[in-house]
Amino acid sequence: CAAIQIEDQESPKRCGLTAGCRVIPAEEMVRKVEVALEARTEPALMLIARTDARAQLGFDAALERGRQYAQAGADIVFIQGLETESELAVVAAEIETPCLVNLAKPAGLGSLSADRLRATGCRIAIYPGLGMLAATAAMGAAYDTLRHDGSLAALDTPLFDREAMHRLMGFEAIWAFEERWRDEH
């Protein structure tokens, strides 16, 4: 683990990209950052302070929260819900610590290349859910083919190699263990 993330959302937490996400007062979050920093026993463990204020309070309020969290000592600031390249550039320029951006959608900021992201001053980009979204689309296409055709003969969805999947899942070690303990009787 290289970092932990604390957030300024009210409980119960929601996905920051969904409706109804509400935040606690900034002062409470600043205190959470300060407590987390004092409790940190491993200096290399980074503290990410995330705000979901963009959706509820607007860009300016989220930016101000990001500044406060950086001033409180957060190693990285994450303002969820940035919408434009110019917003990202403002965040990177005005917050003292490295910023993190969530590129959850292929459109908008998600379409920016790594070079363009670096040019804004952004230091860290995450792509949450990319694997799951791609896998779900592929599964949907494969099952649609099966439902429509009644077989896999016309399947054009790329499939992961079964033997490679077995290796990835650690089957070889399981089989070796079973072989060592197989009852010879």
Residues assigned a catalytic role: 15
Q: For strand 3-7 and strand 46-51, is the pairing parallel, antiparallel, or unpaired? A: parallel
Give the distance from CA 157 to its chain's centroid. 26
Q: Cis (ω within 30 of 0) for the bond into 158?
A: no
Determine phi and psi for 57, rounding to 5 degrees: -115, -10
User: Which ranges constitute the DSSP H helices of the chain?
Assistant: 26-39, 53-57, 59-71, 85-94, 114-120, 130-149, 162-169, 171-181
Distance between CA atoms of residues 62 and 75, nearest Å: 17
What whole-number distance in Å separates Cα of residue 64 and Cα of residue 103? Answer: 21
Report the SS3 class of residue 69.
Answer: helix
CA gap 86, 63 in Å, rounded? 13
